[in-house]
Amino acid sequence: MRKLLRVNMGELSVKEEVWPAEREPIGGRQLTSSIVSSEIPATCHPLSAHNKLVVAPGWLGGTGAPSSGRLSVGAKSPLTDGIKESNVGGNAGVALSRLGIAGVVVEGLPPDDNIRVLHVTADGTELLVDNELKGLGNYDATDKLREKFGENISCMTIGQAGEMRLAAATIATTDEEGRPTRHAGRGGLGAVMGSKGLKAIVIDKEGGQRPESADREAFNKAAKRFAQLLSEHVVTGTNLPTWGTNLLAKVINDAGLYPTRNFQEGQFELVDNVSGETQRETILARGGQTRHACHHGCTIACSAIYVDEDGEFVTKGPEYETIWAHGANCGIGDLDAIARMDRLDDDIGLDTIETGAAIGVAMEGGLLEFGDAEGVIRLLEEVREGTPLGRIIGSGAAVTGRACGVRRVPVVKGQALPAYDPRSAKGIGVTYATSTMGADHTTGYAIAQNILGVGGDVAPLKPEGQVDLSRTAQIATAALDATGLCLFVAFCMLDVPETLDMVLAMTNAHLGTSVDEDWWTELGKEILRKERDFNARAGFTAVDDRLPDFFEEEPLLPHGTVFDVPHDELDTVFDF
């Protein structure tokens, strides 16, 4: 029988609620957004006792379905002041699922300044004080936690940024090697965890087991076919495993939408230095690892282990978004430097997208030069130390824009734009503008049809058709984020209808339900409705569903286009 853990930091208590496998909300983003939307007063301060940190694996988590171990983390965002679901790999999701935990809800504010650890085991859950963890980065913190709790754990931790309650702070999860390399990055959820005095959630895997399926045989059959479909699709079966996410760098740069120097240009002259091809060659030449799975049971395995010239571990990946944010966006074309920045971000607990965007804004504000890699590394260390400059950067791009008096600040709902310029791929621009999450490529990845030719083609430079494209993608993604499946399976789903059939077949076999495609679509809509409703109650209006002025006014080279999807069309994205 599944359970939901209610952790009250004010009372320092943990309570278990029975939560049957098929009980709605079942899992993932469905569960986090339902609880956030129904239990948190939308206008509360994100660092107040009213906010809740909600952690939920998807309903396929732990089942052995390929790539199903993603974990949703939700709260009212300290960055956007709206609802947030941040989706993360690593092994915490699978570990929770295998202990039969549908979710963890952390409520209230602690009565004192102690640093606490939530220790989750098959035998029960307790809150422990451990002030030795105070001020540690994620790497040291997870080392200490392993010393104390043994090797057989998965951890969710915050670094110094989260302890300082900075709005770009992440929550790290540990990977197969126990390293804190996977991050619920977006929206400052680490600050929420920090405000609650919680440094770590430690999940002891001992006694965990694969959740029972209603029809195991049917499940295994569907899962096997699903894995086969993934392996046969060129993106999930070949491209991602071979080159990783950063295979996009050259594709996006060639298409003219690789945001360069704080979105001043659409192509980066040093892209070859930081491309996925170069990254793969570098890693292989040095004895690193490609085809590394971010979580147990992922068959796509699109990540990597980046090593230095001596073959020593530096960091995972780094991923496409990180290499862009710290690279082209800051005018930096040095993969080794970017890998060090990624490692620092992971250790301090910083969203690489938000942090890179903030630094890009600071560079535009004259605080340091574009291209100054050593300057960036010093800056990140300042975040760790909590210097005033570090606190500005760690508060994200919008605050950095304020402090530097900069006008070109690439944020929507206070959250920085990722690595696709919306002037030259207008479907993703619609997603950035309208997503309940603030600017977020993962909530409606129109790049697939705008640029990659996956799931059809929608001309990227025209305003026509982008709203429909984004709407469909946002609905499907919301449903997918509830399953625990990685978003990347969507590439296969878009091209091969049988993929969704297999997801539904796995769902029905596991839960004993008989849901169909209509249910799936309605699920996605229902999640979005709850999120929109929360945001409306938090004060968001159509004005918040817009890109910053400059995307509509300053043409982007090489295409010379602006973002020109009409505002009244943007306002129809959620007409369903």
User: Which residues are at the interface with its own copies (CB under 8 A)?
Assistant: 42-45, 47-48, 50, 78, 164-167, 191, 194-195, 387-389, 391-392, 395, 399, 402-407, 409, 537-544, 546, 548-550
Token duo for residue 235: 């993106």
Closest CB 340 distance from its own copies, rounded Å: 22
Closest CB 542 distance from its own copies, rounded Å: 8
Q: 9 vs 392, which CB is nearer to its own copies?
A: 392
Closest CB 399 distance from its own copies, rounded Å: 5
**Which of helix, strand or coil describes residue 264?**
coil
Q: What is the spatial distance between Cα 500 and Cα 516, in angstroms, rounded to a whole number?
A: 10
Length of the chain: 576
Closest CB 541 distance from its own copies, rounded Å: 5
Token duo for residue 382: 């300042």
Closest CB 548 distance from its own copies, rounded Å: 7
Q: 5 vs 358, which CB is nearer to its own copies?
A: 358
Q: 40 vs 478, which CB is nearer to its own copies?
A: 40
Q: 146 vs 408, which CB is nearer to its own copies?
A: 408
Closest CB 395 distance from its own copies, rounded Å: 5
CA nearest 120: which of 102, 143, 137, 147? 102
191 to 48, 76, 84, 97, 194: CA distances (angstroms):
11, 11, 13, 25, 5
Q: 76 vs 116, which CB is nearer to its own copies?
A: 76
Q: 47 vs 511, which CB is nearer to its own copies?
A: 47
The dihedral region occupied by 416, where left means phi > 0, alpha psi between -120 and 50, and beta the remainder, is: beta
Q: What is the spatial distance between Cα 283 and Cα 285, in angstroms, rounded to a whole number?
A: 6
Q: What is the DSSP string of 372-414?
A: -HHHHHHHHHHHHHT-HHHHHHHT-HHHHHHHHT-S---EETT
Q: What is the spatial distance between Cα 42 and Cα 536, in angstroms, rounded to a whole number?
A: 8
SS (H, E, C) 554-566: CCECCCCECCCCC
Type of residue found at 348: I
**Which of helix, strand or coil describes residue 60?**
coil
Q: 98 vs 196, which CB is nearer to its own copies?
A: 196
Strands (E), 89-130: 101-107, 116-121, 124-129
Q: Taking the mean position of all CA atoms in its chain, how far away is CA 337?
A: 23
Residue 382 burial (CB count, 10 A): 17
Type of residue found at 251: V
Find residue 75's DSSP bridge partners. Answer: 84
Q: 59 vs 534, which CB is nearer to its own copies?
A: 534
**Which of helix, strand or coil describes residue 538?**
coil
Find residue 260's DSSP bridge partners. Answer: 265
Closest CB 489 distance from its own copies, rounded Å: 36
Q: 29 vs 546, which CB is nearer to its own copies?
A: 546
Q: 231 vs 264, which CB is nearer to its own copies?
A: 264
Type of residue found at 465: G
Q: Can you give the C-alpha Rg of the chain in angstroms?
A: 22
Element (H, E) at 84: strand 83-88
Closest CB 12 distance from its own copies, rounded Å: 19
Question: How many helices and strands, by DSSP H and E, does the chain display?
Answer: 23, 17
Closest CB 366 distance from its own copies, rounded Å: 10
Q: 194 vs 241, which CB is nearer to its own copies?
A: 194
Q: 193 vs 503, which CB is nearer to its own copies?
A: 193
Q: 28 vs 78, which CB is nearer to its own copies?
A: 78
Closest CB 158 distance from its own copies, rounded Å: 12
Closest CB 160 distance from its own copies, rounded Å: 11
Q: What is the DSSP string of 133-196?
A: GTT--HHHHHHHHHHHH-SSEEEEE--HHHHTT-TTB-EEE--TTS---EEE-TT-HHHHHHHT
Question: Residue-wise over 289-314: b if at least 16 C-beta within 10 A, else e?
Answer: ebbbbbbbbbbbbbbbbbbeeeeeeb
Token duo for residue 76: 């009212």
Q: 74 vs 190, which CB is nearer to its own copies?
A: 190
Q: What is the spatial distance between Cα 500 and Cα 492, in angstroms, rounded to a whole number?
A: 9
Closest CB 368 distance from its own copies, rounded Å: 12
Closest CB 453 distance from its own copies, rounded Å: 35
Contact between 176 and 127 (Cβ < 8 Å): no
Alpha-carbon torsion, ordered 280, 282, 286, 290, to 10 deg:
-10
C-alpha torsion sign, points 505, 532, 190, 246: positive
Q: 28 vs 194, which CB is nearer to its own copies?
A: 194
Closest CB 9 distance from its own copies, rounded Å: 14
Closest CB 249 distance from its own copies, rounded Å: 30
